[in-house]
Amino acid sequence: MRPFDSNIPSTQLEENPEADRVTVIIDAAKELGRPLFFSLIIITVSFMPVFTLESQEGRLFKPLAYTKTFAMFFAAIVSITLVPALMTLLIRGKITPANKNPANRLLVFFYRPFLKGVLRFRIVTLIVALVALAVTVPVFKELGSEFMPPLNEGTILYMPTTLPGLSIREAKAILQKQNKMLKAFPEVEHVFGKIGRAKTSTDPAPL
């Protein structure tokens, strides 16, 4: 954990009070810019399988994938261009060291043992990762063919059109005739009808 802590501007300024603040911030940004950039790129690449979806699931999830991909890509660019420049302008006054921040200390308390365990048992960590990757192969093969289960509720929506000036009495008569005709089919168990429509573009049928 020490190499990571040494890249924090507050730590460097505390260890070397004579150092120039802007120089320390720039050096820390250079040191952490590459891993931060690639971590965001990895998150972006993880959404690539969504682009293999087809049909209904593709139309549903591809806008999310495009939005997430573009957002993470530009975030990666901004993290190595704009963020370092803003750090030199916005980081003013005394900087509280990371080891005195309660939230940071709590995160380090939980993260340090996990990181030490992963670095100590490298082979086991790689094997677990490869097994997890192998388990996802069958799922990946099904992404391009079926992602959402087919919806078959056994209902049919019949939406006829009528004249604009149809009266309520005539509409009731037509609705009753339609219900009798639909009930005549042996496959039909129930028939529900309505007269009128809501003031919305999603309900264009008067019956």
- Report which of residues 159 and 115 the model is more confident about: 115
pLDDT (mean) for 102-119: 88
Residues 199 and 139 grouped into a single domain = no
**Looking at the structure, do residues 42 and 126 belong to the same domain, yes or no?**
yes
10 and 110 share a domain? Answer: yes
Q: Which domain holds residue 194?
A: 152-207
Average confidence score pLDDT of the chain = 77
Whether residues 127 and 180 fall in one domain: no
Same-domain check for residues 47 and 139: yes
Task: State yes or no: pLDDT of 128 exceeds 70.
Answer: yes
Tell me the pTM: 0.45
132-168 pLDDT per residue, tens: 999 988 877 776 555 566 667 677 777 777 777 778 8
Domain boundary among 116, 143, 170: 143
170-206, pLDDT tens digit by residue? 888 888 888 888 888 888 888 888 777 666 655 556 6
Distance of CA 53 to the CA centre of its chain: 15
Q: Are 84 and 125 within one domain?
A: yes
> At what angle are helices 55-90 and 21-45 packed, to 10 degrees?
180
End-of-domain residue from the set 89, 124, 143:
143
Q: Check whether residue 82 and residue 115 sit in a common domain.
A: yes
On whether both 36 and 80 belong to a single domain, the answer is yes
Task: Tell whether 165 and 91 lie within a shared domain.
Answer: no
**pLDDT for residue 105 is more than 50:** yes
Terminal Cα-to-Cα distance of the chain (whole angstroms): 70
118 CB-near residues (< 8 Å, 6+ apart): 125
State the total domains in the chain: 2
162 with 108, same domain? no
